Amino acid sequence: MKDFIESLLPDGKYDYFSQGPGQHSYYFCGDIETFTATYAITINEEDNYIFYNIIYPYDIPEDKIDRVLEYISRINYGDVFGAFIVDHVDPCVSYHASIPLGSNREENQQYFATYLNHGQSVMEEFHEGLLDVFGGKQPLEVLTKMGAAVTQIK
């Protein structure tokens, strides 16, 4: 699987770390339609998982953290592939997914491509709305305007 992941990475433009036997991490930047994201991909061969985060290139304004959390919580509802998460240390928003690995290499590659493509698509789909929330708009208002399916809590 390590060879497959490396075949997808930009030539020589990534950082590689090994945390021990069977655990490999890659960090690199890549363009998604309207912004450049940071990717963090970790292969854990012992537990048979690939984990990835696609990270938006913005810090969350401190006074908007509650709105950002509401925004991503509403988006996450029903997403079966992964979820938006907030890193409270950096503070940033990313999309995270965990992909179980099986014994079939081609299936693993197909799963990874499907999950990664989905992550990139939702990052792009909700990008403008995230910037609106950063700008002070209410998450429900932003998502309703976008036509996103949302559940209103009374």
**Residue 69 located in a structural domain:** yes
**Residue 154 located in a structural domain:** no
Domain that holds residue 80: 2-146
Domain count, the chain: 1
CATH of the domain at 64: 3.30.1460.70
Full DSSP string of the chain: -HHHHHHHS-TT-SEEEEEETTEEEEEEEEEETTEEEEEEEEEETTTTEEEEEEEEEEEPPGGGHHHHHHHHHHHHTT-SS-EEEEETTTTEEEEEEEEE--S-HHHHHHHHHHHHHHHHHHHHHTHHHHHHHHTT--HHHHHHHHT---PPP-
**Residue 151 located in a structural domain:** no
**Residue 91 located in a structural domain:** yes
pTM beyond 0.95, yes or no: no
Residue pLDDT tens, the chain, 154 long = 677 777 777 676 888 888 888 889 999 998 999 999 999 999 888 888 999 999 999 999 999 999 999 999 999 988 999 999 999 998 999 999 999 888 888 888 888 889 999 999 999 999 999 999 999 999 999 999 988 766 555 4
**Residue 152 located in a structural domain:** no
**Residue 45 located in a structural domain:** yes
